[in-house]
Amino acid sequence: ETKWMCEYCTYENFPNALKCTMCRGAKPLSSEDIYRLRNNDDGAVGSGGGGNGGGTAAIITADNLHEQLKPLRIADSEFPKQSTHLHHHQPCSGGKWSCVTCTYENWPKSRKCIMCGTAAPTAPSPVGRMSPSRSNLAIIPTSSPERDVTVTRDNKSSRVSNSRRSGEASTAGNNYEYERRRRQADWTWLHACQGVVEGDPVPVEAFLESGGDPTRQLTPSEVSLLNRPSAFDVGHTLVHLAIRFHREDMLAMLVSSIDGGGPGLKRVPSYVAPELASAIRRHAATIFNAKHSHSLPFPFVTEFTTFILPAEIEDLPSSVQEQLFEELLDKDVQQQLESEPAVINWSVEITVQLGSRLYALWNRSQGDCLLDSLMQATWGVFDRDSLLRGALADSLTHGGQLLYPRWLESETRQARQLEFSLSEAQWAEDWSSLVGRASQPGASLQQLHVFALAHVLRRPVIVYGVKFVKSFRGEDIGYAGFQGVYLPLLWEPSFCSVTPVALGYTRGHFSALVPVEHSRTHDMGVPNNMVRVCYLPLVDSERKLLPIHFLTKAEVGSEEHLLRQWLDVSTTDGGLLVAKQRAQGHPLLVAQMLEEWLNHYRSLAQMSGTPYNRTIPAHDFSSDGDTDDE
């Protein structure tokens, strides 16, 4: 018995192998030739046809069958008319019945084919005896009615080696559905999957830079679009693909992105007090106004809160403070934002004299980092219930007619600066992709989504981000473009809060930037025990004004006027333009959560001051996303 060839990679396997040794593809169900000639009693056909009686006989094989047949016409078999041609087929010994799908000869008592699982026909017929119940096809030469070839269907044999061609053929019957799936697909994610298989790190890096979730799994529709069953399976992640195809460099990059905040355990307030964190999220869900109207197309919050770290942190011993910040902050993000050229904390006047140093909070790094960061900057918890995700999707669905003109004008202006242009159909396709991402958990979010969320929160959002996105090798691979001020320009200024929230952006990841509350006030010398003020710079380290996103042509050139209209702007003694972020104390639930969180570190401080110091326990919580306690 000879070796059998794999249909996917053409590797020749031993006869007893059930799967391909190279690609693990399944062995074909039937290795016999599917072409059965009606007049094959002699095993040969005259090469010249009936008119050339003296022609030499040629053996018909799968390789030369196309040379022996003229153009063929595929039609349904007409069994009554062809019954005279089928009487010579010998019945199968022992009364076995032949499977209509793979032609395997099964025992009479078998209710389904043991090879492919097809149910037995109601009236089992011996092999070779054709009946109307057999779903066969007859391939009939149009110019030679004497030659009659019967072809049985074989699902495995019908697969061609080029899987993409077979995929296109399978979608020809339902082209509308196929094109709809293609338009709605997240091609950044699909290209990343292809990049892992092909060994190309560029699309993988682009997916991670855009905030994609490295633990995202392939869905059945995405597997069908990729159309490479030997490489992609439902449920596979980028990590699965990197392990399967031995991409060690990509695997290291993916694992580091999953870790998010670097090595070590994380103990954020919502992990220490999970019941209070759940209560905070339930309360936050009640402050969303989801009613839509022509004048109010966006869902919006009805209560303003700003999260800051409590001043009691400064009362802890330095060793405990160090552990607290290690378990609370994202040290990698903090280092990137503070490294040259610094994005945050670059002014000694702001950080030291005005006490407005910003700290990057750690979050879950699961594709929803923008939403988590905004919830942390306002309520101090993660967006586990997808409150902001739902509000974002509603904003683009019901308020798209207001957002689209500003987005189109901004994108067209940027395209003109880069000396390229897109057609209306291409702009519409890009907009449809942005709308689809808003409702898809784990999908990467863009500047438009930050702009829409500023309207949901009814307050400005300031993003301090790196200018260039770097690869895991440290090379610049693209312009980030997230840094700047996002104003809720579609609302009236009187309807919104002048207190902004601050976010940090590094390599496809958003983090909440919050200050530490101080016991003394820094509101330009005006004491107020109820209001704490943090000063957020509106210029970069080169004293250039931060850009304002999604301005119209009429608004361009009046950036400083818009900042003073939407923010509480002041100028420091050093001449820096800053925005005041006012925090009027924490809500009761947030204050209770912070108190429980601080009690943990207070107990550590007490243990560190006793004669018998114990090792600080670090086994309660992990940095691998949510724990069972939350």
Residues annotated as catalytic (active site), given as ranges: 369, 509
Tell me the C-alpha distance between 579 and 567, whole Å.
6
Q: Where are the beta strands (DSSP E) in 492-600?
A: 501-506, 509-514, 532-537, 569-571, 577-583
Helix (H, G, I), strand (E, B) or coil at 287: coil
Helix axes 588-608, 318-328, angle to 10 degrees: 130
3-state secondary structure at position 174 = helix
Judge contact between 58 and 48, C-beta under 8 A: no
CB atoms within 10 A of CB 590: 21
DSSP-derived secondary structure letter, 548:
B
**Across 77-184, where does the E strand assignment appear?**
97-98, 105-106, 137-141, 149-151
Q: Are 362 and 261 in contact (CB under 8 A)?
A: yes
Give the DSSP H or E segment for 5.
Answer: strand 4-5
Distance CA 369, CA 597 (A): 22
Contact 369, 362 (CB under 8 A): no
Q: At what angle do helices 588-608 and 274-286 cross, to 10 degrees?
A: 160
Burial-class residue 628 by CB neighbours within 10 Å (0-12, 13-18, 19+).
Answer: exposed
Backbone dihedral region for residue 21 (phi beyond 0: left; psi -120 to 50: alpha; all else: beta): alpha
Contacts of 94 (CB under 8 A, 6+ apart): 107, 108
**Residue 196 region by backbone torsions, left for phi larger than 0, else alpha for psi between -120 and 50, else beta:** alpha
Instruction: Copy the structure tokens of residue 588.
Output: 């009761």
